[in-house]
């Protein structure tokens, strides 16, 4: 291959690399740092809150109108809806290729068109799915017992939230835990009865007392003066003085009701270490760097501490910067350690001379250029890209070693100076380019993968490709340029020469064996390949292991229909158990879902964030979680402990993540309930499943109040008047919001404790009618009935879910579940499907499998062009599945589970496994053209290439060794990837120096001849 004239202009390359290094340093300083890459799903989530509404009411009054508008959106692929007591969640997925932001705008437009059909006060909130991973900070506040929580909430809302929302990079801030500060009018039924005043009369009279509005303007001299009419009762005394008209004259409100300054009631709760508290959640903008945003939020809270009431202090619960710093420091340290180990082995095996220092320079330079490329493509440094660079650090010396060895080979044969550089570069450039491009070709199909697989494969593939292409650029330009100024190999002292000689002698004997028995050698390699597949089948699977975040998340669920008081009691018991553990610093419990948040749990579910003490040995996270789960176990409470990031990633991917679930589809709720009960009963006999939970069909009681028409007519009342009185007394209503300083003050009307009335008390509740007072039980029928706890829709069709905890690999669990359900008879129109984590993993494996086929096809095309045909290309490609053997056996021996990053590692082996073989066969064919016999040509090629192969293998292995050993908690997510690539590289190197030459002589000679 001739050297292009462009490569003979050193000043041009010096200037180019100076500019690239400058841009790389700029990118290194400015590139965002995150836990995970930005989600690009064309999927939008909608959350709706309407406290007090049943699942059926949410379905008919809210979800159906929204679905009717959303189903008409163009390019909508699917619509999933879940509705329960007081909450509903809708997930709209659009076609691949659509952009999330325009999709979000289209969804909001559909919501606006549906608003006229929604109940008053219902405000759907929509966001791009995946926003949960942008939750960077959770704080609670420690509130002294004498200070009401609503007062603290008002101070935070008026003085601190505006400052937080102004922090660069902050997307949204949520504050919850208390109702709004209000003047609560609590009517006394006996007084109402005594004065003959109905609850509606109080509501009307209070509303008439609140006046605030424009009343025109006047010209006063040279000024235009606006007129404002204002009458605002801002104190309890002012409200108590309001005159309520009666048949016998006006009566002050204070004689009819108690007026208290209190919080409006809410159907959720927050507790810090068992005491009432507030929750503050901060979300960053997608693409914003976690560390500066989180630090700015913490600094803002500290700066504004004095704005809080005396004795109130912030308690940090979760900070994503802890995880980002952990991953960055540990992977960064492993990257540095791996690079130093790779450089050390180069110095040991090649000796200390200027050429090795030139080679050592290529590793950090290639990494810097790779980071510059990531920044140019709008990527961030995250779990995936940092992992790719950490694994790549050992591979980046490959191109440089090939070029260096080729140039030194020419120098050792007497071609000195720049001519030796040119000759060596000419010898190796074609094979070097082909080898690197085949490696990059393995990643190109991954860049086109979408969905869940694309979330992990795209950033990783881009980072690896950019780093390898940067390494190729450096090896073909900067290394020859610097070596041309050295001029010769010089004298070197190689302390590792004896090891190289010993390895070469051993390889010589092994090569002789494979050359004599090529068929038997190939059969043995195939046998090991089958053994690796068997070993991989029993490897435990997990989605994505994450290092210790200093926080564990205990998700809990009581039986559906449990009261808020019951849930509070259970959470208090859980908190006591957790707080008794010596490793726990704080607990932060959230029950139910507050208005204005993206949470969707009902009052019988929620989560407890468990803050661990700094001294906890974080490597034992799984043991700590298992111990806490055992200590906090309560009968009737379903719990699961995970890390916050895994939980939020699951929420981002599927809304409500569960490891295993079965979804049953059908039209009638009664039939669905019966069938789901049968499925749950069968699943309880599956050995690999535990905690089978038929959540959706779990019935909850509803008290149905149906006014009788004849009774209403007899008492001069209509259904609307009946409902208005009942709703004011039992559900309550905010009559007005009056300006009061920085935040409006609510005027709220409701009985003080209506939930304590009971069925008998409700029947006796007096309503005002045309003939005086009448018990509610005489006007309406009260019936306790059972309704579904939760209703689901898929594209408008009803469905229920059965959940369980898998005790074995998901593939095994699903196979056993299928067997248990194989003879289940379903009515026409009813079907079930497996959901949860299993289909996500299966779809991911299927998509990555297609990407692997695409990578093989692309690689085959590149290699075929290099070797003018398919025969040698096919022999070379045999190394890809055989290299799988090393990765699979290494993973099985390590005990590390198979996860998303390990799957990407197997794809990495496709390109890596070919590089050595391409260069070696290029040397062998060149030797044949020089007149050597085929066997002599192969043996000479192996002898000439053995040292570079050993060098590249050792540098790659040592570069990945710190991560493969799991040094540092931040390396845990990438450990499986590093183990797979490490095992594959070692096995591939052994194949390329032994089995490949034998296969070439046995089956590749017809073409080369």
Considering the domain architecture, whether residues 396 and 472 belong to the same structural domain is answered as yes
Helix (H) or strand (E) run with residue 701 in it = strand 699-707
Q: Could you write out the DSSP letters of every residue in 71-125?
A: TTSTTEEEEEEEEETTEEEEEEEEPTT--HHHHHHHHHHHHHHHGGGSPTT---E
> Residue 112 — pLDDT band, cuts 50, 70, 90?
very high
- What's the confidence (pLDDT) of residue 657? 42
> In which domain, by residue range, is 765 found?
189-255+701-788
Contact predicate 661/836, CB 8 Å:
yes
In a domain, 767, yes or no: yes
H-type alpha helices, 555-707: 564-579, 621-631, 644-654, 669-683
In a domain, 925, yes or no: yes
Considering the domain architecture, whether residues 712 and 744 belong to the same structural domain is answered as yes
In a domain, 345, yes or no: no
Considering the domain architecture, whether residues 651 and 795 belong to the same structural domain is answered as yes
The Cβ of residue 574 has, within 10 Å, a number of other Cβ atoms equal to 24
Of the chain, the end-to-end C-alpha distance in Å amounts to 21
Whichever domain contains 369, its CATH number is 1.20.1640.10
Looking at the structure of the chain, the number of domains it has is 5
Model confidence pLDDT, tens digit, residues 165-194: 999 999 999 999 999 999 999 999 999 999
- C-alpha distances in Å from residue 745, one per residue of 214, 236, 317, 820: 20, 12, 30, 59
Angle, CA 340 vertex, CA 462 and CA 989 arms, to 5°: 65
Alpha carbon distance 440, 910 (integer Å): 10
Considering the domain architecture, whether residues 678 and 720 belong to the same structural domain is answered as no
In a domain, 459, yes or no: yes
Contact predicate 835/663, CB 8 Å:
yes
Q: Is the pLDDT of residue 51 over 50?
A: yes
Q: Which of 763, 788, 813 is the last residue of a domain?
A: 788
Mean pLDDT to the nearest integer, 127-146: 89
In a domain, 526, yes or no: yes
- Would the CA dihedral through 610, 611, 615, 617 be positive or negative? positive
Q: Is the pLDDT of residue 500 over 90?
A: no
In a domain, 103, yes or no: yes
> Residue 282 — pLDDT band, cuts 50, 70, 90?
very high
Considering the domain architecture, whether residues 449 and 357 belong to the same structural domain is answered as yes
Considering the domain architecture, whether residues 624 and 511 belong to the same structural domain is answered as no
Q: Could you write out the DSSP letters of every residue in 340-382?
A: HHHHHHHHHHH-SSHHHHHHHHHHHHHHHHHHHHHHHTT--B-
Model confidence pLDDT, tens digit, residues 344-388: 777 777 666 666 777 777 778 888 999 999 999 988 888 788 877
In a domain, 532, yes or no: yes
- Would the CA dihedral through 46, 50, 51, 52 be positive or negative? negative
In a domain, 435, yes or no: yes
Considering the domain architecture, whether residues 808 and 746 belong to the same structural domain is answered as no
Report pTM. Answer: 0.80
Structure tokens at 206: 């209070």
Across the chain, mean pLDDT equals 83
Q: Considering the chain, what percentage of its residues have pLDDT values greater than 90?
A: 30
Model confidence pLDDT, tens digit, residues 439-454: 787 777 777 766 656 7
Q: Which of 788, 806, 822 is the last residue of a domain?
A: 788
Q: Is the pLDDT of residue 219 over 80?
A: yes
Considering the domain architecture, whether residues 802 and 664 belong to the same structural domain is answered as yes
Mean pLDDT to the nearest integer, 946-952: 79
Considering the domain architecture, whether residues 459 and 430 belong to the same structural domain is answered as yes
Q: Is the pLDDT of residue 64 over 50?
A: yes
Whichever domain contains 216, its CATH number is 3.30.2090.10
Considering the domain architecture, whether residues 424 and 447 belong to the same structural domain is answered as yes
Mean pLDDT to the nearest integer, 760-776: 91
> Residue 1007 — pLDDT band, cuts 50, 70, 90?
very low
Considering the domain architecture, whether residues 783 and 904 belong to the same structural domain is answered as no
- What's the confidence (pLDDT) of residue 930? 83
Whichever domain contains 687, its CATH number is 3.30.70.1440
Considering the domain architecture, whether residues 964 and 999 belong to the same structural domain is answered as yes
Which of 572-576, 634-638, 728-732 is predicted least confidently? 634-638
Out of 31-45, 599-613, 632-646, 744-758, the most confident range is: 744-758
- What's the confidence (pLDDT) of residue 781? 94
């Amino acid at each position: 291959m001739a050297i292009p004239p462009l490569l003979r202009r050193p000043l041009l390359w010096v200037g180019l690399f100076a500019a690239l290094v400058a841009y790389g340093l700029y990118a290194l300083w400015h590139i965002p740092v995150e836990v995970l890459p930005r989600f690009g799903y064309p999927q939008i989530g909608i959350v709706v809150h309407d406290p007090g509404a049943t699942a059926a009411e949410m379905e008919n009054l809210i979800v159906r109108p929204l679905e009717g508008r959303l189903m008409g959106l163009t390019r909508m692929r699917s619509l999933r809806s879940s509705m329960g007591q007081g909450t509903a969640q809708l997930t709209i997925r659009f076609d691949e290729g659509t952009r999330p932001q325009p999709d979000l705008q289209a969804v909001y437009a559909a919501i606006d068109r549906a608003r006229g059909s929604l109940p008053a006060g219902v405000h759907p909130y929509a966001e791009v799915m995946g926003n949960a991973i942008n939750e960077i900070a959770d704080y609670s506040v420690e509130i002294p017992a004498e200070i009401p929580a609503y007062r603290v909430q008002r101070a935070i809302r008026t003085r601190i939230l505006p400052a937080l929302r102004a922090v660069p990079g902050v997307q949204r801030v949520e504050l919850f835990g208390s109702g709004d500060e209000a003047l609560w009018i609590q009517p006394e039924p006996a007084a109402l009865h005594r004065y003959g005043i109905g609850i509606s009369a109080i509501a009307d009279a209070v509303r008439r007392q609140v006046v605030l509005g424009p009343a025109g303007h006047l010209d006063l001299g040279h000024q235009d003066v606006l007129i404002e009419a204002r009458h605002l009762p801002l104190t309890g005394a002012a409200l108590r003085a309001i005159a309520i008209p009666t048949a016998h004259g006006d009566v002050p409100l204070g004689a009819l009701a108690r007026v208290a300054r209190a919080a409006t009631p809410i159907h959720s709760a927050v507790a810090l270490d068992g005491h009432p508290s507030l929750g503050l959640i901060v979300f960053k903008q997608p693409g914003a760097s976690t560390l500066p945003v989180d630090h700015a939020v913490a600094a803002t809270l500290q700066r504004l501490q004095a704005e809080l009431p005396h004795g109130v202090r912030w308690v940090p619960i979760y900070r994503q910067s802890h995880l980002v710093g952990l991953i960055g420091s540990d992977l960064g340290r492993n990257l540095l350690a791996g690079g130093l180990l790779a450089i050390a082995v180069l110095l040991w095996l090649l000796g200390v001379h200027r050429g090795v220092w030139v080679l050592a320079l290529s590793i950090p330079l290639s990494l810097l250029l790779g980071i510059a490329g990531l920044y140019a493509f709008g990527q961030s440094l995250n779990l995936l890209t940092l992992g790719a660079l950490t694994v790549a650090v050992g591979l980046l010396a490959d191109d440089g070693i090939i070029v260096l060895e080729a140039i030194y080979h020419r120098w050792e044969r007497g071609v000195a100076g720049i001519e030796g550089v040119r000759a060596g570069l000419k010898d190796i450039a074609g094979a070097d380019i082909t080898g690197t491009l085949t490696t990059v070709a393995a990643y190109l199909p991954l860049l086109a993968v979408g969905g869940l697989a694309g979330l992990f494969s795209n950033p990783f593939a881009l980072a690896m490709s950019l780093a390898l292409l940067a390494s190729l650029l450096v090896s073909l330009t900067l290394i020859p340029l610097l070596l041309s100024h050295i001029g010769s190999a010089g004298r070197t002292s190689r302390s590792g020469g004896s090891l190289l000689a010993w390895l070469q002698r051993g390889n010589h004997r092994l090569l002789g064996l494979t050359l004599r028995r090529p068929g038997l050698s190939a059969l043995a390699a195939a046998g090991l390949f089958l053994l690796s597949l068997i070993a991989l089948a029993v490897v435990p699977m997990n989605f994505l292991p994450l290092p210790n975040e200093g926080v564990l998340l205990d998700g809990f669920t009581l039986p559906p229909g449990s009261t808020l008081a019951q849930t509070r009691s259970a959470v208090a018991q859980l908190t006591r158990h957790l707080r008794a553990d010596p490793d726990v610093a704080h607990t932060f419990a959230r029950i139910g879902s507050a208005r204005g948040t993206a949470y969707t749990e009902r009052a019988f579910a929620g989560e407890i964030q468990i803050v661990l003490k700094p001294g906890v040995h974080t490597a034992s996270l799984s043991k700590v979680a298992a111990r806490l789960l055992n200590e906090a176990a309560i009968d009737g409470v379903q719990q699961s402990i995970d890390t916050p990031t895994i939980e939020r990633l699951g929420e981002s991917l599927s809304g409500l993540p569960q490891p295993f679930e079965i979804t049953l589809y059908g039209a009638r709720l009664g039939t669905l309930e019966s069938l789901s009960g049968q499925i749950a009963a069968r699943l309880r006999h599956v050995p690999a499943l535990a905690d089978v939970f038929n959540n959706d069909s779990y019935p909850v009681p509803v008290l149905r109040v149906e006014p009788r028409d004849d009774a209403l007519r007899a008492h001069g009342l209509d259904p609307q008047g009946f409902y208005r009185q009942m709703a004011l007394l039992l559900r309550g209503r905010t009559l007005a919001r009056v300006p009061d300083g920085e935040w409006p003050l609510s005027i709220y009307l409701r009985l003080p404790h209506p939930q304590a009335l009971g069925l008998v008390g409700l029947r006796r509740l007096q309503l005002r009618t045309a003939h005086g007072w009448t018990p509610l039980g005489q006007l309406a029928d009260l019936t306790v009935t059972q309704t579904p706890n939760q209703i689901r829709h898929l594209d408008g069709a009803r469905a229920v879910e059965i959940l369980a905890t898998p005790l074995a690999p998901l593939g095994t669990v699903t196979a056993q579940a299928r067997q248990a359900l194989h003879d289940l008879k379903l009515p026409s129109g009813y079907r079930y499907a497996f959901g949860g984590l299993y289909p996500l993993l299966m779809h991911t494996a299927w998509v990555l499998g297609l990407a692997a086929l695409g990578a093989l096809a692309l690689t085959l095309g590149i290699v075929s062009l290099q070797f003018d045909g398919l025969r040698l290309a096919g022999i070379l490609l045999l190394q890809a599945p055989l290299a799988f053997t090393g990765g699979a056996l290494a993973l099985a021996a390590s005990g590390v589970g198979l996860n998303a990053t390990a799957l990407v590692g197997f794809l990495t082996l496709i390109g890596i496994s070919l590089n050595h073989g391409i260069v070696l066969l290029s040397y062998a064919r060149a030797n044949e053209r020089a007149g050597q016999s085929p066997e002599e040509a192969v043996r000479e090629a192996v002898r000439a290439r053995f040292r570079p192969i050993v060098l590249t293998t050792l540098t790659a292995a040592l570069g990945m060794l710190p991560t493969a050993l799991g040094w540092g908690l931040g390396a845990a997510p990438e450990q499986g990837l590093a183990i797979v690539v490490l095992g594959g590289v070692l096995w591939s190197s052994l194949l390329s120096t032994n089995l490949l030459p034998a296969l070439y002589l046995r089956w590749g000679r017809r073409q080369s001849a």
